Amino acid sequence: MSVNSTEAGEANPQSAQTTRRYQLMVLSNTTLGVFMAFLNSSIVIIALPAIFRGIHLNPLAPANVGYLLWILLGFSVASAVLVVSLGRLGDLLGRVRLYNFGFLVFTLGSLALTLTPGKGSSAAAFIVAMRIVQGVGGALLFANSNAILADAFPPARRGTALGINQVAGLSGAFLGLIVGGLLADVNWRLVFAISVPFGAFGTIWAYFKLVSVAPRKHAKIDYLGSSVFALGLILILVAITYGTQPSPGHTMSWTTPAIMAEGLVGIALLIAFFVIERHVAEPMLDVKLFRLRAFAAGNFANLLAAIGRGGLQFMLILWLQGIWLPLHGYDFAQTPLWAGIYMLPLTVGFLVAGPVSGFLSDRYGARVFATTGMAVAAVSFLLLLAIPVNFSYWAFAPVIFMNGIGFGLFAAPNTSAVMNSVPARSRGTASGVLATLTNTGQVLSIGIFFSLMIIGLSTTLPGQLFNGLSKAGLPAAQANAIAHLPAVASLFGAFLGFNPVKVLLGHSLSRLPAHSAALLTSKSYFPSLISGAFKHGIGIAFTVAAILCVAAGVASALRGRHFVHHEAGEIVVDEEVPAVAD
């Protein structure tokens, strides 16, 4: 069945009505798949406390921090590592086939998580393994959904379709914060169960209705390149994941031999990957694509934007849960859910700007919208710097709404420009590169911004903690020991909805007078104590985020004019720039 009369090598098109109906179906199914995958990439952030309570495991115990990190990041790491290879396989074996399989794998992983057996570390290990399985399914969906959309829609309507798809996906990441909190309050298993019926429906729907229309190239699979790329990226992402953890005598582990070795070997393997891809006959990634300015600039801008966006989400959660919500009377256990609710203006801004910018970019090109979006996002980060730690919500909400507008203006036009810049036979690869950089950016953002926050806190927090704990009646030696504990314990405690002071004091709390214990564990004590240090840390983080957005805007501006890659024999209508030969 043909659905796009402008693509070369297809059969005669069906009627316009049949074509439009099929395009709507493709858009609906891929939007469901991407929304579900993005929702699950963030839904556990808010549900982590309930998950660990449900399996009777303390996530902050030193032996269990690895489970905490991998339940949080396993999905993104698995997706980032596999998505380029799977995009290339989609070009070779059929995008629809792999997309369908991704829906099935994701659904089975969600079902297994719903039925997690046992308690304690065995249950945690099972959850980590199934989150990785979900990540494999998500990678299959991410790698092929954009390409399937690009196959189905002509260039004149591609930006609108990709805009709706992008907005649905990234809004799923934000809505996951609320859905996770609501479901976790009922039962932690519902956090995973919610995906099962939608996944089953989407799998069956895609199997019977989606049709492969793109020309398929018969080629050998690049096993060497795929293996080297996967191993290199795994080592880098593992190093980032564990680099934020404290090591003996250090607040973080970036300078430990193991972490440095993982990072350096990972970088060396990625360099080797690009060398290999230039010399094999049928590479996993055609490095010649990066000669296309629209492709290279769009992907670089996408990576920078993904880091900035992920950092914003992470920092806002810490800000709301660790300081603002407790100061406004919310129990620490309630803060994960309410943090998601109070971040809704961010999602609304994205939902408003995304489809509009996608539609307009079809007519006017991506550059003006993507560049403007990054400029708006950069300004919003600078405005966040000017807001006091204990802000008025009506000063805070418009700024994060503005941030959502900025990223919404950027996302769809940038994706459409990247997908338009490559020949039809490389769309799976292009989609995979975009998704890899998005997921890698999410993991990088946590490593970068968490580290920046810890650096900021470590300069002022020990002194403030020592003075505050001493005044509350804690012996000087004990107050000094607690004040110099790694700041990561306080941040993880706030992030998970625990009272950070209880986390820091542990059993020492029972040895304090009742009035001192009540003061130290009150809702306002820790937020008031940490506000100055937090403001310093978040100032560093948001300054870096603003710089990243400016750099993404510059990269976006350098992408060139509106460009659509046309194959020989295609019908070209209203395009400004002629095709560039491969």
Rounded CA separation 7/423 (Å): 10
Segment 456-482 shows an average pLDDT of 76
**Paired strand residues for 250:** 247
Name the pLDDT band for 494 (thresholds 50, 70, 90).
Answer: low
**Which residue, chain included where needed, has tokens 């937020």?**
527
Residue with the two structure tokens 């290990």: 125
- Percent of the chain at pLDDT above 90? 17
pLDDT digits (tens, 9 = 90+) for 225-253: 888 888 888 888 888 878 777 777 677 77
Do residues 319 and 384 lie in contact, with contact meaning Cβ atoms separated by under 8 Å?
Answer: no
Res 196: pLDDT: 93
pLDDT for 295 equals 87
- Is 298 in contact with 557 (CB distance < 8 Å)? no
CA distances from 4 to 10, 21, 146, 163 (A): 8, 12, 15, 18
In this prediction, residue 3 carries a pLDDT of: 45
Query: Which range is most confident: 176-180, 273-277, 514-518?
Result: 273-277
Tokens, residue 306: 């993904």
- CA nearest neighbour of 273 among 73, 84, 442: 84
CB atoms within 10 A of CB 574: 9
CA 123 to chain centroid: 25
Distance, C-alpha 491 to centroid of its chain: 20
- Phi and psi of 182, rounded to 5°? -65, -45
- Most confidently predicted of 303-312, 405-414, 471-480, 561-570: 405-414
CA–CA separation, 25 and 15 (whole Å): 15
State residue 564's pLDDT score. 64
How confident is the model at residue 565, as a pLDDT? 57
Tell me how far apart the alpha carbons of residues 62 and 489 are, in angstroms, rounded to a whole number.
10
Q: What are 254's two structure tokens?
A: 């970036």
In the chain, % of residues over pLDDT 70: 90
In 3D space, the residue among 23, 26, 144, 33 whose CA is nearest the CA of residue 95 turns out to be 144
Q: Which of 139-143, 354-358, 395-399, 471-475 has the lowest mean pLDDT?
A: 471-475
Q: If you count them, how many residues does the chain have?
A: 582
pLDDT of residue 495: 67
- Taking only the tens place, the pLDDT of each residue in 162-191 is 777 877 777 787 778 788 878 887 888 999
pTM, rounded to two decimals: 0.79
pLDDT-derived band of residue 22, with 50, 70 and 90 as boundaries? confident
